[in-house]
Amino acid sequence: MIVRDLKRLALLAGPFLLLFLLSVSLWQSQNDDLRSRVGALFDNHGLPTNPSASTSPRAPRLTPDKTHYQVFSQSTPDGEFFDIRFDEDALNPNIIPHPKFNNTWYIVAQLPPKHERGSLEINVEEVGCVAQFIKGALMCIDPAQPLPYEPTPGGNCQGDIDFFNLNIGPRDARVFFGPQNIWTVFASNSAFTCFGQFIQDFRALVDWYPKWMAKASDADFSVGTEIERPFPHAPMEKDYFIFWDKDDAMHVHYDMFPQRGYAKLKPDGKTGPELASETAERDAKCLRHYLPELVDNGFESIRQATNSLRVTLCERVDSTCEPRDDNTYIMTVVHHKTDLAFRSEYEPYVVLFQQRAPYELYAVSRRPLWISGRTPRGDGLPTDAVSITSANWRDRGRNYHGFLDDVIMLGFQYGERHSAGIDVRAGDLLVDLGLCKDAS
Ligand SMILES: *[C@@H]1O[C@H](CO)[C@@H](O)[C@H](O)[C@H]1NC(C)=O
């Protein structure tokens, strides 16, 4: 018994030791530029970089045309976003802190769809790697590996989307922390409709996660499991996110607009009754009040964009700051999406809602956020599209819950092919919120 445990320990510790040695050698071999970069992150680690945010040069600022609030990175020299580098183009990035090492993350993204020669099948692959900041970019420090998501049977795509039956592999994966460990939600061929949303314990897909670090209370999902939302099902179910309530019970939020939809998630992927009806009317009013009015031409929509986080609206450094029901909310990001001729534009808004039943909305951004470094609009030139896919606490150990002075890593797709990220104080993302109680 003891021998077996020791063996297991050695198996677990081995890769970390290797990684550690690799990091140390990397550290020593890099030039001063790198050292000061990573050093900057070390200094900030866990400490609020500046408690009086409003006086900081990196506090959010209204853009000159007053349409957006610009938010700044806490660690890059110029406050702008940083690149995420895999060995090749990658889309829809996710950034999670490595559970064992400071200043180290695990990044996951989707490779562009590939057609094998002579085949109609569309292969989509998610890849992941351990990453650190090197010369200003978040880069793989070991080769990116394909993640072993299992393809799912389908064949339920009909009419003008029947070509989706030829899809192989997951797409649009989100990777995020829950209260205890890491999860992934992804799209794949559905048993109920054309495309569905699946959930899996992300630890089942990687070999570096120390499984003993997790408590056993979360639901299982050790294999990819389709989430079966209450009826009706759309042909393409998209963009679900999971949230945990104040008792850490798992829920799935499948719609935000025009009508919210969410329900308790059961361990077999089925859902409890729709919970959104009770506050639907009030919530819809709040969203319509603060989000832009959609032009009714079929090209504009409000879409769920990221996973969720729990945030307490006071600062960790403040000794009187205690999480309570009236200061702690679930946070997510939605996009106002506009489809243009050859591309789409996305404007991100933050949404907060209650962490206890009936989970009604609390607040919504009055203006969209402008990620510092995004090319400004002007002179008819198109704005670079920024599409946010993930939000996780930057530093390890926070898991699901943080405070205003904790830093969030946003992962986003930049343009058609690039992955990028920015680390912003949670309080900065919550700039200029409109409260639902004031929306009438
Ligand atoms: C990692 O960061 C934490 C929080 O700042 C700190 O207490 C700890 O000493 C760091 N660990 C190492 C190995 O630097």
Task: Express each pLDDT in 100-142 by its tens digit.
Answer: 999 999 999 999 887 767 777 777 899 999 999 999 999 999 9
Is 213 a member of any domain? yes
Query: What is the whole-number distance in angstroms between the Cα of residue 15 and the centre of ligand 1?
Result: 20
Task: Specify whether the CB–CB gap between 203 and 214 falls below 8 A.
Answer: yes
Number of domains in the chain: 1
Say which amino acid occupies 112. Answer: P
- Cβ of 20 closer than 6 Å to ligand 1, yes or no, is no
Is 243 a member of any domain? yes
- Cβ of 102 closer than 6 Å to ligand 1, yes or no, is yes
Place of tokens 């109609």: 120
Query: What is the whole-number distance in angstroms between the Cα of residue 102 and the centre of ligand 1?
Result: 6
What is the rounded average pLDDT for all residues in the chain? 86
Is 291 a member of any domain? yes
Give the CATH number for residue 323.
Answer: 2.115.10
Pocket test for ligand 1, best of 45, 105, 394 (most atoms within 8 A of CB): 45
Q: What is the mean pLDDT of residues 259-284?
A: 96
What is the residue with the minimal CA distance to atom 8 of ligand 1? 102
pLDDT: which is higher, 21 or 232:
232
Q: Which atom of ligand 1 is nearest the CA belonging to 102?
A: 1
Q: What is the mean pLDDT of residues 243-250?
A: 97
Nearest Cα neighbor of 290 from 437, 428, 427, 436 is 436
Q: What is the mean pLDDT of residues 321-347?
A: 93
CA 126 to each of CA 123, 168, 246, 355, 438: distance values in angstroms, whole numbers, following the listed order: 10, 12, 32, 31, 42
Q: Which two tokens stand for residue 52?
A: 């009086």
Task: Specify whether the CB–CB gap between 189 and 165 falls below 8 A.
Answer: yes
| Band of residue 413 on the pLDDT scale cut at 50, 70, 90 | very high
Q: For residue 155, what pLDDT is reported? A: 84
Return the number of other C-beta atoms located less than 10 Å from residue 34's C-beta. 17
pLDDT in tens, 184-223: 999 999 999 999 999 999 999 998 877 665 555 555 899 9
Q: Which atom of ligand 1 is nearest the CA belonging to 47?
A: 5
What is the residue with the minimal CA distance to atom 9 of ligand 1? 102
409 forms beta bridges with 392, 423
Q: Does position 410 have pLDDT exceeding 80, yes or no?
A: yes
Altogether, the residues listed in the chain come to a count of 440
Q: Does position 34 have pLDDT exceeding 50, yes or no?
A: no
Pocket test for ligand 1, best of 16, 17, 19, 102 (most atoms within 8 A of CB): 102
Is 254 a member of any domain? yes
Q: For residue 305, what pLDDT is reported? A: 97
Q: Does position 24 have pLDDT exceeding 70, yes or no?
A: no
Q: Which two tokens stand for residue 223?
A: 């294999």
Query: What is the whole-number distance in angstroms between the Cα of residue 317 and the centre of ligand 1?
Result: 17
pTM value is: 0.85
Distance CA 203, CA 211 (A): 7
Task: Specify whether the CB–CB gap between 189 and 151 falls below 8 A.
Answer: yes
% pLDDT > 90, the chain: 68
pLDDT: which is higher, 401 or 117:
401
Task: Specify whether the CB–CB gap between 169 and 149 falls below 8 A.
Answer: yes
Handedness of CA 355, 258, 392, 183 (dihedral sign): positive
pLDDT in tens, 155-194: 888 888 887 787 777 889 999 999 999 999 999 999 999 9
Q: For residue 247, what pLDDT is reported? A: 96
CA 100 to each of CA 20, 277, 293: distance values in angstroms, whole numbers, following the listed order: 10, 42, 45
Query: What is the whole-number distance in angstroms between the Cα of residue 129 and the centre of ligand 1?
Result: 22
> Where are any strands of DSSP class E within 88-125?
91-97, 105-110, 114-115, 122-123
Q: For residue 15, what pLDDT is reported? A: 52
| Band of residue 16 on the pLDDT scale cut at 50, 70, 90 | low
| Band of residue 3 on the pLDDT scale cut at 50, 70, 90 | very low
Is 424 a member of any domain? yes
Task: Specify whether the CB–CB gap between 108 and 131 falls below 8 A.
Answer: no
As to burial, measured by CB atoms within 10 angstroms (0-12 exposed, 13-18 middle, 19+ buried), residue 421 is buried
| Band of residue 35 on the pLDDT scale cut at 50, 70, 90 | very low
Is 1 a member of any domain? no
Task: Specify whether the CB–CB gap between 175 and 127 falls below 8 A.
Answer: no
Helices (H), ranges, 1-114: 2-29, 32-44
For residue 157, the enclosing domain spans: 31-438
Q: What is the mean pLDDT of residues 304-316?
A: 98
Say which amino acid occupies 393. Answer: W
As to burial, measured by CB atoms within 10 angstroms (0-12 exposed, 13-18 middle, 19+ buried), residue 94 is buried
Query: What is the whole-number distance in angstroms between the Cα of residue 142 and the centre of ligand 1?
Result: 23
Please name the residues in contact with 156: beta carbons below 8 A apart, sequence gap of 6 or more.
Answer: 165, 189, 190, 191, 192, 193, 194
Q: For residue 220, what pLDDT is reported? A: 85
Return the number of other C-beta atoms located less than 10 Å from residue 367's C-beta. 19
Among 261-265, 296-300, 326-330, the minimum mean pLDDT is found in 296-300
Is 397 a member of any domain? yes
% pLDDT > 70, the chain: 83
What is the residue with the minimal CA distance to atom 13 of ligand 1? 102
Q: Are strands 91-97 and 145-146 parallel, antiparallel or unpaired?
A: unpaired
Is 23 a member of any domain? no
| Residue 157, CB-side half-sphere exposure with 13 Å CA sphere | 18
What is the residue with the minimal CA distance to atom 4 of ligand 1? 46
| Band of residue 341 on the pLDDT scale cut at 50, 70, 90 | confident
Q: Does position 252 have pLDDT exceeding 70, yes or no?
A: yes
